Chain A
């Protein structure tokens, strides 16, 4: 069994409620931080832990916190990003629903460290039942002196509020989230200035993902140094992976970042293998925006090494032969799945979710969707494949926020690795509406170039 830091007590009945959470050591980390450490000492522990943002970008959390501006007399805000909208990702939902106090405790420690007295949890509107759970947890914490004025007699004040969104993927981008929290359309802001300097209501603001903020609790419990010994290299600690698609055991798993992709997919502790005895065709390991990989490149890197569930190993080979850990939205496709259809659903998603501010994204996402629809419906031309490639190239890097890149990458990777499947759709339009291309050669062992003889 892999070691757990976030879900170690998730199985305890009633852990959702304060009394049970507290009786099992809950709020011990907050107690330690508020009573015996200065904010800078807490920041040091977070830096030592090597914790990286769990929302997708993987930016070092301690460094992000150290950027926050501290002008005199200006309030600072902590905003918890619970907008979780990247297709394939449903880990934060689990954490908030079943262990809400872990998040509340993480918010308390983080707010203390950053010097924030108000904190907002921005949760996607569709998770409509979760605000009640969070608000109940907040009320329990307040009743027991962990929120409100003069927390545990330390003189530190904190209020936590829950704000619902209303259906917009873009609000997961931190500046769009801030706009939305201000009661506006979720249009991302041009950076700089960064939120750390000018964020919510123009005040210094830190926006962190749910899982990132919850991870601060075990970091304080075991110490930053000990936390950094979990995982491999710069992928320290544990990561929540939400596994879905054609596997036997979809669900949310906490993994130590030291296991192989193969173990994650096939072991009974995690996904339990491909459903219905089928074979693995492809996988999108970090949420819909990261590059899709065929089975052979997923399980082994181009160098022939086993691919591990770490930021570095998944990215090994760059976009040519690698992908990204992203948000941990792990989508598995079996041999019966159609890459063109799958890519089309993502193109449609990004078209629907584009805020419309930047023309390359607003126009390009719809264009890619229409071209993919033609190919899928047997009306594609060979030149459409190059056209798709061309459109995605013109979106990537040319937009204010990363949604443009997120829309471009899945299309690029699908063509890069599955071009023959696209060509087959174009050449056999009749057949392509009746059956799928199948596994083809996508699981075949890669031909690794032998070292030159000396």
Chain B
């Protein structure tokens, strides 16, 4: 269940659309739900969102499964989403992905045993001029090098403690 504050946010989002068009709030509300409920969308969470927006659960499932930013299974506390499309590849993203794999001892799509890190490869995030890069939470980490990756991992470990 959302807090009072989050429920008000949902109301505020719904008010952006004409009466009866509250389904338009679905993607923004799913973002809110994912942030609020552990970084992923369980069936229960999706059903809850459906009830909030007065739409059928299936309408939520079909959207949640379409968009790549919605996680449908649990992920680590920190998700490294490393871009691997052409412009990043030209600037060495393959090496960065390999480095993270070795450093964290996980494969793409896997989470470390301590539940801290998940590695995902993603397609172009719009930071081609600052490649190689990854998304970490709300922000981009750009011009990645092995040293920068080390620093980011350390930063996350410190924050987690």
Q: Which residues of A contact B (CB under 8 A)?
A: 75, 84-90, 93, 120, 124-129, 159, 161, 163-169, 180-186, 201, 242-246, 250-252, 284, 288, 329, 331, 333, 337, 341-342, 345-346, 348-349, 352-353, 355
Interface pair A87/B86, CB less than 8 Å apart: yes
13 A-B pairs with C-beta separation under 8 A: A88-B124, A127-B126, A128-B137, A166-B27, A167-B69, A182-B23, A183-B27, A244-B91, A245-B87, A246-B91, A331-B87, A345-B85, A348-B85
List the B side residues contacting A169 at CB < 8 Å: 123-124
Q: Judging by beta carbons under 8 Å apart, are A250 and B123 in contact?
A: no
A182–B67 CB distance below 8 A? no
Q: Is B127 on the interface with A (CB-CB < 8 A)?
A: yes
Measured in the bound complex, the distance between the Cα atoms of B138 and A129 in whole Å is 6
Residues on A with C-beta less than 8 A from B129 are 90, 242-244, 250-252
**Nearest residue, chain A, Cβ from B18:** A201
Whether, in the assembled complex, B26 has its beta carbon less than 8 Å from a beta carbon of chain A, the answer is yes
B31's partner among A84, A86, A164, A349 (CB-CB below 8 A) is A164
Chain A residues whose C-beta falls within 8 Å of the C-beta of B139 in the assembled complex = 128-129
CB distance from B114 to the nearest CB of A (A): 25
Residues of A contacting B156 in the complex (Cβ-Cβ under 8 angstroms): none
The answer, among B21, B87, B126, for a CB contact under 8 Å with A126, is B126
A87 to B89 alpha-carbon distance, docked (Å): 11
- Chain B neighbourhood of A161, CB < 8 A: 16
Is the CB–CB distance between B89 and A164 below 8 Å? no
In the bound complex, residues from chain A placing their C-beta under 8 Å from that of B53 are 183
The answer to whether A349 and B24 touch across the interface, beta carbons within 8 angstroms, is no
Mask: chain B, 131-158; 1 = CB below 8 Å from A; 0 = not: 1000101110000000000000000000
Give the residue of A89, A166, A181, A182 whose beta carbon is less than 8 angstroms from that of B128: A89
Contact A180 B27 (CB under 8 A): yes
Whether A84 and B126, one on each chain, are in contact in the complex, defined by CB atoms closer than 8 angstroms, is yes
Interface size on B, residues (CB 8 A): 42
Q: CA–CA, A120 to B17, complex, Å?
A: 10
> Contacts A128-B139, A242-B128 hold; do A88 and B86 have CB atoms under 8 A apart?
yes
Contacts A84-B126, A125-B31, A126-B135; is A288 near B63 (CB within 8 Å)? no
B30 at the interface (CB under 8 A from A): yes
* A346 adjacent to B86 (CB under 8 Å): yes
| Cβ-based interface call for B43 (8 A) | no
The answer to whether residues A333 and B90 also contact, given A166-B69, A183-B27, A244-B128 and a CB cut-off of 8 A, is: yes
Bound-state Cα–Cα, A87 to B123, Å: 8
**Distance between B143 CB and nearest chain A CB, rounded to angstroms:** 10
Q: A126-B69, A184-B23, A342-B90 are in contact. List 11 more A-B contacts (CB 8 A).
A: A159-B16, A164-B31, A166-B27, A182-B23, A183-B25, A184-B62, A244-B87, A244-B90, A245-B87, A341-B89, A353-B123
Q: When the two chains form their complex, are residues A166 and B24 in contact, meaning their CB atoms are under 8 A apart?
A: no
Question: Chain B nearest CB: distance from A79 CB in Å?
Answer: 12
CB nearest neighbor in B for A341: B89
* Interface set of B (CB-CB < 8 Å, partner A): 16, 18, 21, 23-28, 30-31, 53, 55, 59, 62-63, 66-70, 84-87, 89-91, 122-131, 135, 137-139
* Contacting pair A165 B135 (CB below 8 A): no
Residues of A within 8 A of B67 (CB): 125, 165-168, 186
Q: Is the CB of A250 within 8 A of B23?
A: no
3 smallest CB-CB distances across A and B, nearest first, come from A166-B67, A250-B129, A167-B68
Name the CB-closest residue of A to B94: A341
* Min CB gap A339→B, angstroms: 11
Alpha-carbon gap, A181 to B27, bound state (A)? 8
Q: Which residue of B lies closest to A245 (CB)?
A: B90
CA distance A448 to B91 in the complex (A): 34
> With A125-B69, A167-B69, A250-B128 in contact, do A88 and B87 touch (Cβ < 8 Å)?
yes
Residue of A nearest to B137 (CB): A128
Cβ-defined contact, B86 with A186, below 8 A: no
Query: A415 CA to B141 CA in the complex, in Å?
Result: 34
Q: How far is the CB of A185 from chain B (nearest CB, A)?
A: 4
- Give the distance to chain A from B9, nearest Cβ to Cβ, in Å: 13
Say whether B123 contacts A168, CB under 8 Å: no
Interface centre among A86, A126, A333 (most CB of B within 10 A): A126
Q: How far is the CA of A331 from the CA of B91 in the complex (A)?
A: 11
In the complex, A107 Cα to B102 Cα: how many Å? 48
Q: In the complex, which residues of chain A have a beta carbon less than 8 angstroms from the beta carbon of B123? A: 87, 169, 348-349, 352-353
Give chain A nearest CB distance to B18 CB in angstroms.
7
User: Once bound together, how far apart are the Cα atoms of A329 and B127, in whole Å?
Assistant: 11
Contact of B27 with A85 in the complex, beta carbons under 8 Å: no
B23 contacts across to A, CB distance below 8 A: 182-184
- For the complex, give the distance between the alpha carbons of A349 and B138 in Å: 22
Per the bound structure, the CA–CA distance linking A182 and B127 in Å amounts to 28
